[in-house]
Amino acid sequence: MQENSIREKKSSSTKQYSTFYIGERLYGIDVMQVQEVTRTLPITRIPLSPNYVKGLINLRGQIATAIGLRNLFELSDAANETQMNVVCRMDGVLLSFLVDKIGDVVEVDESSFEPPPDTIPESVKRFMHGVYKTAGPILSIIEVDKITTALNKKNGN
């Protein structure tokens, strides 16, 4: 209901992003790509997997692979104990991104968009679509596609 009303209001020049925090940094994923946001769920570790693969999560009978964005972005590992899940479905595969804190769904104006500045470390930049200069902190947009391709590439598949 609420989503519908938002969509009606939405003009062609704005986009909606589901935002979350890793540390103090604000990130966003296109709201249409996010299936749901859940609180901390028990994780089954996968021995021998890369460090950013945190394990498997039972999401109402579906198995989602948990990806630690903090590790993937190679940020310092001051891991928050309670991690929230941002669950995205890509090509039928469930990925759950572990983040520190969930933010709002924000609507941003296309005019405030800019491609990622050059000085951003490559470890994060390669997943970024760009940034929005919002009234609050600057919002970095993460592309799930880029993450899945990077993941697949890393493992030679």
Partner 1 sequence: MKTRMQPIGNVLTKFQRVIRDLSRDLNKKIELTLEGTETELDKTLLEAIKDPLTHIVRNSCDHGIETPEERKKSGKLETGRIYIRSYHEGGQVVVDIQDDGKGLNKEKLLSKALEKGILSQERLSQLSERDIYHLIFAPGFSTAAQVTNVSGRGVGMDVVKNNIEKIGGQVELLSQLGKGMTVRLKIPLTLAIVPAMIIRTGEARYAIPQVKLVELVRVEANTSTEQIEYLQGKPMYRLRGNLLPLVNLKEVLGLSVEDGKTQSITNIVVLNAEGQMFGLIVDEIQDTADIVVKPLSQFLKSLSLYSGATVLGDGSVALILDVTGLANTVHLSAKAKEDASLAAGASDARIRSNDLQEFLLFKVNAAGKYSIPLNLVHRLEEFRSDQVEFSGAQRVIRYRGDILPIISLNAYLKFPTQTEESKNRLSVIVVRKSDKHYGIEVNDILDVCSVDANVDDSLKDRPGILGNIIMGEEVVVIVDILEVLSGERERLGQKEVKIGSNASEKAITDYDARRANFPIFFAEDTAFFRKHVTKVLQGAGYPVVTANDGKEAFEKLESSTSDVKLILSDIEMPKMNGLELAKNLRKIEKWKPVPMIALTTKFSERSVKEGKEAGFNEYLEKMNAEQLINKIDSYLLKN
Residue ranges that bind partner 1, judged by CB under 8 A: 42, 44-49, 53, 55-58, 61-63, 65, 91-93, 95, 148, 151-152, 154-157
In DSSP terms, 97 is beta-bridged to 67, 86
Dist. CA 70–CA 65, nearest whole Å: 15
Rounded Cα distance, 154 and 34, in Å: 23
CA 16 – CA 110 distance, rounded (Å): 10
Nearer to partner 1, 26 or 95 (CB): 95
Closest distance to partner 1 from the beta carbon of 10 (Å): 31
**Minimum distance between the CB of residue 92 and partner 1, rounded to whole angstroms?**
5
For the record, the structure tokens of 74 come out as: 């190679």
Least distance in angstroms from the C-beta of 47 to partner 1: 4
Closer residue to partner 1 in complex, CB, 42/111: 42
Report the relative pairing of strands 25-30 and 139-142 from DSSP bridges.
parallel
* 20 or 52: CB nearest partner 1: 52
